[in-house]
Structure 1
Amino acid sequence: MTDSSYATEPIDLRRVDEIPDEVLGWRHQAVPRAFHGLTAREFADAQPELERLQTPVLTLDAGRLQANGERFAAWCSRHGVDWAPHGKTTMAPQLWAQQLADGAWGITLANAHQLRVARQHGVRRVMIANVLTDPAAIGEAAQDVLDGAEIVSWVDSERAVARLEAVLAEAPEAVLDIVVELGAPGGRTGARTNAEAVAIARAVAAAPQLRLVGVGGYEGALAHTSDAAALEVVRDYLERIGTLHAQLDAERLYAAAEVMITAGGSAFFDDVVDVLAAHVREAEGSRPAVRVVLRSGAYIIHDDGFCRGISPLGRTDPDGPGALRSAMHCWARVISQPEPGLAILDAGKRDVPVDEGLPVPQLIGPRLGGPMQELHDAAITAVNDQHCFLAVDPELDIDPGDVVRLGLSHPCTALDKWQLLPVLDDADSPQDARVVSTVRTYF
């Protein structure tokens, strides 16, 4: 647990700064034996060239991480909303620290393990965007509250409220802040009707160890594209969340001086703001202040696939000056060319995500860290556990050992495959790229 002297800071920067003191060794993919025995800090301080790494390797881009964070923060500021990025995307306290320094309200998480990671690194304000039903998880959240953390959890049924009450009775001094989750038919969790949600809110308001502080939901479960039909579904749902908030506000069920309306993954946060920002207000007499809190998690990494095509910051012009840019790439080596037009790479499902689209070949060159050229008329057609199938022009001259830079889709299932991520100064200039820092994940 963090020292009490850090209880008022958004994250314990001293703990975060200790992360690179981990000694590198056999557990760390892509770090060759030549660097074993060094700490991650010493490794980064030496600024090794990209070519010193082994393939496959997933790298981050320092400049793009910084630019993505600044662009999203500026967008939220312009629109008068807050954000609590979903930390499950990266599970990297070093990146959480950047997001909090950019002005994030807090960090969103999903379960007890993620909460433990956050609290170990002194994250003070956490939204658990999930229904806690595990007794141990409820007990840990209660203890964190007693230790000075601000924990907001969700409920979507009166039975969940009763379960929380029963477990919290064993920690009678703890009061847990609660958001009532509204869902939709065919969606994920959440009360299916506004009437159910109102009844749940009344149950929360009547519970002595629960405090109703907002309403929320997840629109991303209802649509996967940005066409007109999908956006209509999303916006109708968001309107229902706004209506629910208005009813709870009118009934004076909120028990805090400041409450939240929370929605917004990484795909439709512009619609969230368009529909719900009208409810933002300062405190008025006995009426609480209201803030809209987005939970977009992918923006800091972004990608070259799903997020590139659907994020409001780049949807219409993904290479424009205001667009987010992918801060992650995988570098894979050709290990075989068993027939014309086919090369097999040494990266597979253990290394790259495939759930939101296959990797996209972007560059090719004779060695890692050497000059590379754009790879045209090529595609990854299949991915096995340890191999990618690269279809290319049969006339293209490819040799074993050639290196391909892959664009990836879906940061949430990319970073979870790597404990240690080298951060390059510039992934667009591989012949000059150097490792300038590392990011440690805790999945």
Structure 2
Amino acid sequence: MDSADLVAHYAAAWGERDDLPPLGLLVELGLGRAGLRTAEAAEAVLRAALDAETPRLRVTGAGAYEGAAATADPVETRARIDALIVATSAFHRSLRRAVGPERPLILTAGGSVFFDLVMAGLREVLAEDKATRLILRSGAIFFHDHGIYERGMAALDERRGLVVGGEPVSASEGFKPALRVWAEVLSVPEPGLAICGMGLRDVAIDQGLPIPLQAFRDGAAISGAQDASVVRLNDQHAFVALGADSDIRAGDVIVFGLSHPCTCLDRHALLYELGEDGGVAGALALRFG
């Protein structure tokens, strides 16, 4: 919530109906996407929210999202994230003073790449406020990927950001990509080119094209995918450039890694779970609100 107008709309809706569940309001600070940009603006929204409180409509915490602050420059990215977390800490202290020491509060931030910076930056304010719970929103790491988040974990390792039991551990080794797309080779119309049955309707492309990982023929692994690359997608087909010595043929199957699982999962109604033997062990229904 980053607007006093939104507070007024929520207050009106919850005041007109008694069948709505209790609603907690999080004041959002932001940089690069939504969220309040200044301390003064955040304080104004907080005052509006506190003035509108009822037993079923209450301020329950503060939130931020640091991922949108990232840029192509890692130094600038770090500075922007640090500034956002400092502002979030300061606002949370102000919020705590406003509601008193007893009210349980939520403090939420932490995407899938910079959650270590969030934890480090908010450690002090959390240590002094035992009635506040930190919630990290690191959704993509449940699937991880072979692209943007793989690079993000490598950068996290460079800053030794993942600490378990007081010791730095490797995020790149700890997080393994779990999402892949399997596509049949439909045609090899000319040397060096394979057409696969996978396209824009199947995979994410906003953070990079799919990456060939392994090829199979009659259920057995074969070579050829390691030197291949996806060069173009259309609706239902992938154009895959093959290495000079590739023996990829029509009927083979190529397994592709993905970059950015969020924009791949929303293209599917079912996600198939593979067992240790490579066979389908289950199916997960996907739903998006």
TM-score, normalised to structure 1, is 0.58
Which consecutive residues of structure 1, in runs of 5 or more, have no partner in the other structure?
1-154, 427-431
* Residue aligning to 2:266: 416
Q: Which amino acid aligns with 2:119?
A: V
Could you say what secondary structure the match of 2:266 adopts? helix
Superposition deviation, residue 411 in structure 1 = 1.0
Which digits, 9 at most, give the CA deviation of each residue in 1:56-77, with x for residues without a partner?
xxxxxxxxxxxxxxxxxxxxxx
Which consecutive residues of structure 2, in runs of 5 or more, have no partner in the other structure?
161-168
Could you say what secondary structure the match of 1:311 adopts? helix
2:206 aligns with one of 355, 367, 370? 355
2:95 aligns with one of 248, 256, 263? 248
Q: Distance in 1 between matches of 2:145 and 2:29?
A: 29
Q: Distance in 2 between matches of 1:292 and 1:200?
A: 21
Q: Which amino acid aligns with 1:183?
A: G
Is 2:250 the partner of 1:400?
yes
Q: Distance in 1 between matches of 2:185 and 2:283?
A: 26
Superposition deviation, residue 322 in structure 1 = 4.1
1:227 aligns with one of 74, 94, 97? 74
Q: Evaluate the alpha carbon distance shift between residue 275 and residue 324 of structure 1 in structure 2; reply closer, same or farther with a 3 A threshold.
A: same
User: Is the contact made by 1:266 and 1:299 (CA closer than 8 Å) also made in structure 2?
Assistant: yes
Could you say what secondary structure the match of 1:380 adopts? strand
Q: Distance in 2 between matches of 1:341 and 1:399?
A: 11
Superposition deviation, residue 373 in structure 1 = 3.5
Higher relative contact order (CA 8 A, sep 6+): 1
Q: Which amino acid aligns with 1:234?
A: I
Between Structure 1 and Structure 2, the one with more strand by share is 2
Q: Evaluate the alpha carbon distance shift between residue 320 and residue 193 of structure 1 in structure 2; reply closer, same or farther with a 3 A threshold.
A: closer
Superposition deviation, residue 175 in structure 1 = 3.8
Could you say what secondary structure the match of 1:383 adopts? strand
How many residues align structurally? Answer: 276
Q: Distance in 2 between matches of 1:360 and 1:380?
A: 7
Q: Distance in 2 between matches of 1:189 and 1:255?
A: 29
Superposition deviation, residue 193 in structure 1 = 1.0
Q: Evaluate the alpha carbon distance shift between residue 226 and residue 436 of structure 1 in structure 2; reply closer, same or farther with a 3 A threshold.
A: farther
TM-score, normalised to structure 2, is 0.87
1:439 aligns with one of 256, 261, 284? 284
Q: Evaluate the alpha carbon distance shift between residue 424 and residue 254 of structure 1 in structure 2; reply closer, same or farther with a 3 A threshold.
A: farther
> Structure 2 matches for 1:202-213, cutoff 5 A?
202-209=47-54, 210-213=57-60
Q: Distance in 1 between matches of 2:174 and 2:263?
A: 22
RMSD (CA atoms) = 2.4
* Residue aligning to 2:139: 297
Superposition deviation, residue 314 in structure 1 = 6.3
Superposition deviation, residue 254 in structure 1 = 5.7
Q: Distance in 2 between matches of 1:197 and 1:289?
A: 21
2:46 aligns with one of 201, 212, 227? 201
Q: Distance in 1 between matches of 2:103 and 2:233?
A: 52
Q: Which amino acid aligns with 1:292?
A: L
Is 2:34 the partner of 1:189?
yes
Q: Distance in 1 between matches of 2:156 and 2:144?
A: 10
Q: Distance in 2 between matches of 1:225 and 1:267?
A: 14
Is 2:121 the partner of 1:270?
no
Superposition deviation, residue 268 in structure 1 = 0.6
Q: Distance in 2 between matches of 1:348 and 1:370?
A: 24
